[in-house]
Amino acid sequence: MHRRRRTALLLSAVIAAAPLLAACGNDAHPGAAAVVGGQRITVAQLESRVKEVRAAQRAAVADEAQYAQAVAQTGTLTRDTLHGMVLDRVLQRAAEDAGVTVTPRDVQQMRAGLEQQAGGPEGLQKAWLQQYGIPPQRLDENLRLQLEAQRLAARLGTNTSQPAFWNALSKASKTLDVDLNPRYGSWDARKVARVDAKTPWVREISTAGTQQPT
């Protein structure tokens, strides 16, 4: 994955549909989509985040045709949302390790500046939803993460597209021992990215009339 794209994933989750994955054998992650630093990201939490994005998209358009177009233009919502949730925790760990902090006042100052550029709060919310797939209720959280990324890069004497920044995230990934439920692939700590699983006991099933997780 290009580093520019991985940087964008610090800010967003991208949307789309994908085939249903069914796993045979024992589930090593009952109820968990991922375990990061011994802390679970539950399937319920993941599904809740996906619903937030879908609801925000639906509220932002005038009719079903526009909503369908918005969904069609995005890709693998569930998997990329999980990628973002894991990456957020990895970034937070890397920032903590580097002594980087971000206060609520920092976030509000950044938000005020962005709102001014976007023509007001609604303009900023619309822009973040369209560009990054961030629903309004997650905006402050996302801005905090963006500030953490910027300050971490500055502390390292680099920027968020350079190897030194991603090396710090890779180190944090290894420390946290990120472990994904195979249904959603696996986590490559070196690349700091989710990758699709290629295991013989995971198969794609095409089920008519069944909502397919992404």
Tens digits of pLDDT across the chain (214 residues): 445 444 444 544 332 322 223 333 335 567 899 999 999 999 999 999 999 998 998 898 888 887 787 777 666 788 889 999 999 999 999 999 999 999 999 999 999 999 999 999 999 999 999 888 899 999 999 999 999 999 999 999 999 999 999 999 999 999 999 999 999 999 999 999 999 876 544 443 333 333 444 4
Please tell me the predicted confidence (pLDDT) of residue 56.
92
- Going from N- to C-terminal start, the domains of the chain cover 3-205
Contact 100, 151 (CB under 8 A): yes
Architecture of domain 3-205: Orthogonal Bundle (1.10)
CA distances 185 to 75, 85, 143, Å, are 16, 14, 27
Q: Is 207 helix (H, G, I), strand (E, B) or coil?
A: coil
For residues 103 and 145, what is the distance between their CA atoms, to the nearest angstrom?
Answer: 11
Rg of the Cα atoms in the chain: 18
pTM of the full structure = 0.76
For residues 168 and 119, what is the distance between their CA atoms, to the nearest angstrom?
Answer: 36
Please tell me the predicted confidence (pLDDT) of residue 77.
84
Structure tokens at 94: 């890397």
Q: For 31-65, b where at least 16 C-beta lie within 10 A, e where not — what string?
A: ebbbbbeeebbebeebeebbebbbebbeebeeeee
The position carrying tokens 């005020």 is 112
Please tell me the predicted confidence (pLDDT) of residue 18.
29
